Amino acid sequence: MLINHPLLGPRDASEFVYKGDAALINRPDPDAPDALEQFIDYGYLRDNPAGAHRELWFHEQGDRSWLVVTRNTLTHEITSVELARDVARREGRSK
Amino acid sequence: MHDLIAISPLGATRPRIDSHGPVTLTEVTDRALASVAARLGHEAQANALVASLIGAQAPGPARMGGETLMAFWMGPDQWMLDAPIDSHEDLAERIKAEAKGSASVTDQTGAWCRFDLSGDGLADVFERLTNANTRAFTGGEAQRAAVEHMGCFLLCHSPRHISVIGPRSSAGSLHHALLTAIRSAH
């Protein structure tokens, strides 16, 4: 499997480490009144879609950037690769 | 004063040089390294800092640039600066003074070892060692890649001169891997 790194071009998947569901970017507010429920959801509950899945990959044997990869879990087709920091900033995180 | 003896990454008092076929493998111990990582919101200043240090544009992804003081790209808004240790032993301190808080600067000299391969047929050596497409290198590339499971930087000065910068604590393993691949290829 090749991952088309936004800065470095196509790289072999063996250079990357899978780091989980991209929803992990959206860490809940610890001061929210329902923070406990939100953190249980954040920590333990995952969707398991048969189809497009947004996931985090870490380029460990490369530039060590975190990527958000949209991968089809049925075909392994990758439809989008973005730097996780760009995604996080767009979603209002990490300012 | 303590009476200490400086040793090379391979543990000798002089850098090791091996020749096999058309390739010469040289342990390089005369370079100082310092990493520069832009602080959040100061990316443009850090970019300008690197450019002013090396007297050229700050290198983009997987590239290197500069002359005596050169830099190579490590990641988004991160560079490694590389200079002769005789004149720049305090490289990190000097850069830190110029960065004025726009970047985190870390001395990296003692963390890495460097081996230079020179000669013909280097792509034949590296295709046995790493994913990086060294056959397409023309000069100026600086890629981080796994070499025998070790995270290394490959710097291509020219297709006949490639540097491998790897973890100093694995210098012996890296040297063994490089020499084995050279003997296998030639």
In A, minimum Cα distance to B151 occurs at A61
- Chain A residues whose CB is inside 8 A of the B61 CB are 7-8, 63
- pLDDT greater than 70 at residue A94: no
Q: Are residue B41 and residue B84 in the same domain, yes or no?
A: yes
> What is the number of structural domains in chain B?
2
Among the partner residues B73, B76, B131, nearest to A15 by beta-carbon distance: B131
pLDDT band at A89 (very low <50, low <70, confident <90, very high): confident
Percent of chain B with pLDDT over 70: 100
| Region B166-178 average pLDDT | 97
Distance from CA of B14 to the nearest CA of A (A): 31
Instruction: Give the tens place of pLDDT for each residue, A24-63.
Output: 998 999 999 999 999 999 999 999 999 999 999 999 999 9
Q: Which domain holds residue B115?
A: 17-29+111-185
ipTM: 0.85
pLDDT band at B1 (very low <50, low <70, confident <90, very high): confident
Q: Is residue B133 part of a domain?
A: yes
- Domains of chain A: which residue ranges? 2-25+46-90
Q: Does A86 touch chain B (CB under 8 A)?
A: no
Q: Are residue B94 and residue B158 in the same domain, yes or no?
A: no
Give kind and range of the element (H or E) at residue A39.
Answer: helix A35-44
What's the CA gap between A16 and A62, in Å, rounded? 8
Select from B35, B74, B131, B154 the residue whose CB has the most chain A CBs within 10 Å, as the one to mutate to test that interface.
Answer: B131
Q: Are residue B159 and residue B133 in the same domain, yes or no?
A: yes
E strands, chain A, in order? 2-5, 9-12, 17-21, 52-58, 66-72, 78-83
> At B165, is the secondary structure helix, strand, or coil?
strand
Q: Options 3.40.440.10, 3.30.2270.10, 2.60.15.10, 3.40.50.2300; which CATH number does A2-25+46-90 get? A: 3.30.2270.10
**pLDDT number for residue A91:** 84
